[in-house]
Amino acid sequence: MGDIKKEALPDATKAGTYRLRTDSRVREELDIVRLGFGAMRITGKGIWGYPPDIEQAKATLRKTQELGINFIDTADSYGPFVSEELIRETLYPYPKGLIIATKGGHTRHGPNIWRPIGNTDYLRQCVLMSLRRLKVERIDLWQLHRVGIDVPPEAQFQLMGDLQAEGLILYGGLSEVSVEMIKRASQYFTVATVQNRYNLVNRHSEDVLQYCEDNGIGFIPWAPLAAGSLEGENGRESVLVEMARRKKVTPGQLSLAWLLRRSPAIIPIPGTSNPQHLESNTRAAEIELTDEEFVQIDEYGRNEWHKTKTTKIVKPIKHSY
C-alpha cells in the first residue's frame, strides 16, 4: 500500500496582515495576521477554572504557531487568570513576532458572572498582574474589557494614557463601546483596536466598524462564528449551507471568510480548545469568495439579523458621566 498523504496544514497568513497605527505616542509598528486566536475557550465551563483537558488546551495553543497565527487575544477574567497562565506555561519563551493581547476591567464572581470595574487603582493592578502572569515586561495590546460605570470614563482613559507613557503597555484598545466613547477615549490615548460583538448575523456594531475602518483602528469581532445561527431553520438549509457544500467547506469557515472580506480593518479571533477545530477555523484564510458569493452571504446574514435583532443585541453599558 502506498503512503497516505496528509492534508497540508492551513496557513493563517493567507488572510493578510493588519498594521496597528502609530503616532507621536506609539512609534513601534506591529503587524497582526488577520486571522487570530481567541483564548477564552481554553478554560472551564462558564469560562471558570481550568479546562477539562489541560493538555488538549495546551496542544491548541502550540498549534497556533504551526498555523502561522501570530495574534492571541486573552483576558485576566478568563478563568479568571487561567488563560493567561496557560499561554505562559505553553508558549514562553515566546516565538519572535507573537503578539499577545489581554484585557482587564471585568471582575469574576463565579461561572458566567461578569462585573465591570473602572477603579483606576484596580485597572493598574490588572495590568501589573497580567505582566506577571504572562511573564513579559510590556503588554503589546491591553484592552479595557468594559468601560466601568463606577468612575468617569475619562479617568479610565487617562490611566491608559499613563500606562502607555510608562511603557507598561504598547497599544491600548477598548471593548463593547460606541463611536462616541471611542472619540472620548482618543483624547487620552491612541485607540488601536476596538473589540465589539459582530458577526454574519449580528450587525449591531456596523457604525463602530465603519468608524474604525475610516480612522485606522483595528476592529476585533468577538463571537465571530455566530455559533448555532448558520444552519437554517424549520428543516430548510440556509444559503450558507448550500454554498458550503458546493465549495467543500463548512458554514463556519464561510462566515469567517465573509468577515475577512467585509473590511480590511477586521481581525477575527475564533476561539476553541481543540487543535482540529482550530485547523478548521484557520482554513477560512484560504477561501476565496467571488463578488456574487460575498453578496449572497452578506444578504443572508443581514436578513437573519433583521429577523432576530431584538433578542441578539448586546446592550451597551450606560454611563451617567
Distance CA 57, CA 78 (A): 13
Asked if 18 is an active-site residue, the reply is no
Distance CA 59, CA 243 (A): 32
DSSP β-bridge partners for residue 174: 144, 194
Cβ neighbours around 232 below 10 Å, total: 16
- Do 36 and 71 contact (CB within 8 A), yes or no? yes
Closest by CA position to 20, among listed 139, 188, 181, 192: 192
Backbone φ and ψ of 265, nearest 5°: -85, -10
- Do 125 and 157 contact (CB within 8 A), yes or no? no
Question: Catalytic one among 18, 50, 78, 321?
Answer: 78
- Do 10 and 283 contact (CB within 8 A), yes or no? yes
In the chain, the amino acid numbered 241 is: V
Q: Which three cell numbers stand for residue 21?
A: 497605527
Sign of CA dihedral 149, 154, 155, 160: positive
Angle at CA 254, nearest 5°, toward 100 and 21?
A: 35
- Do 47 and 79 contact (CB within 8 A), yes or no? yes
- Do 157 and 166 contact (CB within 8 A), yes or no? no
Residue 188, CA distances (Å) to 24, 48, 154, 196, 229 in order: 13, 33, 8, 20, 38
Backbone φ and ψ of 38, nearest 5°: -95, 125
Angle between helices 251-262 and 291-312 (to 10 degrees): 100
Residues serving a catalytic function are 78
